[in-house]
Structure 1
Amino acid sequence: MISTTSLLAPVERDLHILTDNLKQLVGARHPILRAAAEHLFDAGGKRIRPAIVLLVARATVQGEDITQRHRRLAEITEMIHTASLVHDDVLDEADLRRNVPTVNSLFDNRIAVLSGDFLFAQSSWYLANLDNLEVVKLLSEVIRDFAEGEILQGLNRFDTSISLDAYLEKSYYKTASLIANSAKAAAILSEVNEDKAVALYEYGRNLGLAFQIVDDILDFTGSTQVLGKPAGSDLVSGNLTAPVIYAMEEKPYLEVIIEREFSEENDLEQALAMIQDSQGISKTKKLAKKHAHQAKEYLDCLAPSDSALALGELTDYVLSRLY
């Protein structure tokens, strides 16, 4: 698998500054919120979302340094992402994320929900202070999309009639919206033309979809050690992803097992075996590749630079997680 460290080299120093700043920005007056925030920002995430913001910024202001507003946008992006993870873990009743105890398991659900709310509120405040209405609109939409994605996921649990389009829409809300809108926002802060801003939005949208689709494959093929959570956990909670949707087309009995919510003995083992025995995973890999390749095509709008090259290599990195 491609290493993110070498991949993000053009913005490595920027990311160090970002991590230091995040702890200060969230340095809440309350010790529990501060402890929750520090725990979150120390949890060893790859910082891919703010890295994309910083890479887009560097690729679009060539020859100059990026501005403080670009840096603040990257910080806001990571705060929004982290807030969504905290709420995710509460909804999934998860004890571990990246093999580190979650906020809800360390404190409790109430504190975790409030920590997520606090991060969303804090990010909104810093967003308003960027004094750019278009950027405020883009990132506000992301926060709304997260909620919509979670609601859709909750309403569609164990719903075997879910279509691939509905799955992609939910994946956009949950993952791609933040990457797409923050990439476009970084381009807007660099004052690029509308066509280039839209191309970078499309880059982020397709990259985000590829990212989510690969995650959904790994839920069936990855080990607990790699995933930081048990394999097949999405299926158990009734979240039907692309491998399952494709497998159900081939194996009608899979629908029966899912609709009874794995209530009979060996239902889950049988369902997992059916998915492995179908074209579900290989068809989903093709879908991920399609979106990753589309993402790369949208980068033709950028002049050659180390940062533009790194954005292209990110599309390869997303797929390399499968191997």
Structure 2
Amino acid sequence: MATSSSLFYPIEKELYSLERNLKTVAGTRHPILYAAAKHLFEAGGKRVRPALVLLVAKATSEKENINNGQKRLAEITEIIHTASLVHDDIIDECTTRRGVKTVHNVFSTKIAVLAGDFLFAQSSWYLANIENLAVVKAISKVITDFAEGEIRQGLVHFDPSISMDAYIEKSFYKTASLIAASCRGAAMLNGSSTQVNNDLYLYGKHMGLAFQIMDDILDITGSTKSLGKPAGADLTNGNLTSPILFSLAQETDLNYLIEREFCNNTDIALALFLIKRGGGITKAKDLAKEQVQAALYCLQFLPKSAPVSSLRELTHFIITRLS
């Protein structure tokens, strides 16, 4: 099976530069902010979002070039994503992320809030300097989408009546919006046609939804070691995702566990068992596969190239993340 890193071979050089640049984002003006940003970016992560930006940049360029605006957009995408994680971790009271302590655990909640704010502000500054108004508009909206997603999620904590449409919409705001907008932005910076820009927006949207659904499945099936955070964290926080929503009809006992907010020590383990038994994981995986197929469909209009092959393989790779 291919690994995500082997799929990045057309953009290895650019990803190496991106990694170096991310570590200098906070500059040296304030030691605490610098330390918080360094802690975040050294925790790693798969860098799937900037990789998509760089691959789309090559896929929509006749000579497979990547311009400076696209390189900067790749960095902006990862900075915005990281800023959202810092704030998510505070809201969800996570102690670890990617196997290392979260920012608010290493420093304090105040510093974490400020570090997240700083990263959002820094991304806006970088964005303004791309000097392409259409791209600025597309990416700026993402930051409001993040807040919208968090608010929507907060309003339906421990609410088993949430519809699948509402779950998909929330997932769009929280994850797919950034990937969709940044894929479109990368194409826009090549002066691609409106049709190509729209196809790549939809590609990013479906890719992002598949990614989020698989993340939600891994929260149920993964171990603390593989996730870098405790399994069942979504349930503990009252975030009812597709695997549990699909299992509710088969496993009515889940409703009682949700009603009492998994307050007993054994409730999370029991809920994980019932979700697996109720077929929720299989149905959620089918939903992710549908999104993957929709994403692949959007790529068929691009001319064949190594970057497009990488985009296809990366899309398939999402489904194979269940290990």
With normalisation by structure 1, the TM-score equals 0.97
Q: Quote the residue 1:50 is aligned against.
A: 50
Distance in 1 of aligned mates of 2:91 and 2:52 = 27
Q: Do the aligned partners of 2:57 and 2:64 also contact (CA within 8 Å) in 1?
A: no
CA contact (8 A) 1:52 1:183 kept: yes
- Aligned 8 A contact 2:176 2:207 in 1: yes
Give deviations 1:188-233, integer Å, cap 9, x for gaps: 0010000110000011000100000001111111111000111111
Q: Identity over the aligned pairs, expressed in percent?
A: 56
- Alignment correspondent of 1:262: 262
Query: Equivalent residue of 2:161, what SS?
Result: coil
Distance in 1 of aligned mates of 2:266 and 2:72: 50
CA distance in structure 2 between the partners assigned to 1:64 and 1:242 by the alignment: 38
Uncovered stretches (5+) of structure 1, i.e. residues with no partner? none
1:17 is the counterpart of 2:17:
yes
Q: How does 1:1-323 map to 2 (within 5 A)?
A: 1-63=1-63, 65-264=65-264, 266-323=266-323
* CA distance in 1: counterparts of 2:163 and 2:249, whole angstroms: 11
Quote how far apart the aligned CAs of 1:314 are: 0.8
Q: CA deviation at 1:64?
A: 5.1
- Offset of residue 320 of structure 1: 0.8
Distance (Å, rounded) in 2 between the aligned partners of 1:37 and 1:256? 41
In structure 1, distance between residues paired with 2:236 and 2:273: 14
- Compute the RMSD of aligned alpha carbons: 1.2
Question: Judging changes above 3 Å, is the alpha-carbon distance between structure 1 residues 27 and 276 closer, same or farther for their aligned structure 2 residues?
Answer: same
Residues in 2 aligned to 1:303 and 1:26: alpha-carbon distance in whole angstroms: 39
Change (3 A) 1:272 1:25: closer
Pairwise CA distance, 1:124? 0.5
TM-score by length of 2: 0.97
Structure 2 distance, partners of 1:88, 1:184, is: 25
Deviation of the 1:86 alpha carbon: 0.8
CA distance in 1, matches of 2:189, 2:102: 34
Q: Return closer, same or farther for 1:146/1:28 CA change in 2, 3 Å cut-off.
A: farther
- Unaligned stretches of 5+ residues in structure 2: none
- Equivalent pairs counted in the alignment come to 323
Q: Match for 1:213: what amino acid?
A: I
List per-residue Cα deviations over 1:7-45 (Å, max 9, x = no partner): 111111001111122223321410010111111111121
Change (3 A) 1:57 1:267: same
In 1, the alpha carbon distance for the partners of 2:17 and 2:271 equals: 46
